[in-house]
């Protein structure tokens, strides 16, 4: 093992030099900052992220998302996939907090990749009473910048604004962090009950 480590350490400087990691040997040193540090380089504009105005839920019911967002504090809950146990736990946790969340005007819409039958099972298992929308081709997730490799959606909670843009967001979840606390804090739900 030590012999291998010694060989790697002997070759490593050569790899850096050959790969150009330090730049060409004859090149003048590059400045560490831009020519005018007082003027930062403009950031690339982030693409406009909006939900479609109309969606269809698992039961074939047309949803006027724009109206839903105008009437209530609409939150989009995305599931990584229908069989994601952490995502299902998120829905159960939200269901248990519905009285408090609904009292401060929060309503939900759930988005998940298909297959549709798996999403129906997830809806039944979670008991979550809000509309579920299947996105098997990830078109909606793609438009929001949430599509992941392998046909998955990045799990998150997103506030849908009346213009269908995205406001507050809580990105990612795991077995130790679900983001429902920050959701309640954002909408100041502790005062509503």
What are the boundaries of each domain within the chain?
54-191
Measured between alpha carbons, how far is 157 from 109 in angstroms, rounded to an integer? 10
| Order of strands across the sheet that contains 166-171 | 132-134, 106-112, 73-78, 156-160, 166-171
**Residue found by looking up tokens 């540090």 in the block:** 37
CATH architecture, domain 54-191: 3-Layer(aba) Sandwich (3.40)
List the one residue out of 167, 154, 47, 174 whose CA is nearest residue 111: 154
Does residue 182 contact residue 99 with C-beta atoms inside 8 Å?
no
Measured between alpha carbons, how far is 181 from 3 in angstroms, rounded to an integer? 52
pTM of the prediction? 0.74
Please report the pLDDT score of residue 10 as a whole number: 43
Please report the pLDDT score of residue 35 as a whole number: 45
Measured between alpha carbons, how far is 89 from 91 in angstroms, rounded to an integer? 5
pLDDT in tens, the chain (193 residues): 454 444 434 433 333 333 333 333 333 333 344 444 455 555 554 557 889 999 999 999 999 999 999 999 999 999 999 999 999 999 999 999 999 999 999 999 999 998 999 999 999 999 999 999 999 999 999 999 999 999 999 999 999 999 999 999 998 888 788 888 898 888 888 765 5
Please report the pLDDT score of residue 60 as a whole number: 96
Please report the pLDDT score of residue 86 as a whole number: 94
């Amino acid at each position: 093992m030590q012999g291998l480590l010694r060989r790697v350490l002997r070759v490593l400087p050569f790899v850096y030099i050959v790969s150009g990691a330090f730049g060409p040997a004859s090149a003048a040193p590059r400045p560490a900052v831009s020519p005018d540090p007082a003027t930062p380089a403009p950031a690339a504009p982030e693409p406009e992220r909006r939900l479609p105005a109309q969606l269809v839920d698992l039961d074939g019911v047309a949803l006027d998302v724009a109206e839903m967002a105008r009437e209530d504090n609409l939150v989009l809950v995305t599931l990584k996939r229908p069989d994601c146990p952490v995502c299902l736990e998120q829905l159960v946790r939200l269901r248990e907090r519905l009285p408090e969340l609904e009292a401060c005007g929060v309503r939900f819409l759930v988005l998940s990749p298909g297959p549709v039958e798996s999403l129906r099972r997830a809806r039944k298992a979670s008991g979550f009473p809000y509309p579920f929308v299947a996105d098997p081709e990830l078109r909606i997730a793609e438009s929001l910048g949430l599509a992941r490799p392998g046909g998955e959606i990045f799990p998150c909670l997103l506030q849908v604004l009346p213009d269908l843009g995205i406001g507050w967001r809580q990105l990612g979840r795991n077995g130790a962090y679900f983001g429902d606390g920050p959701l309640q804090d954002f909408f100041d739900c502790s005062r509503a009950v």
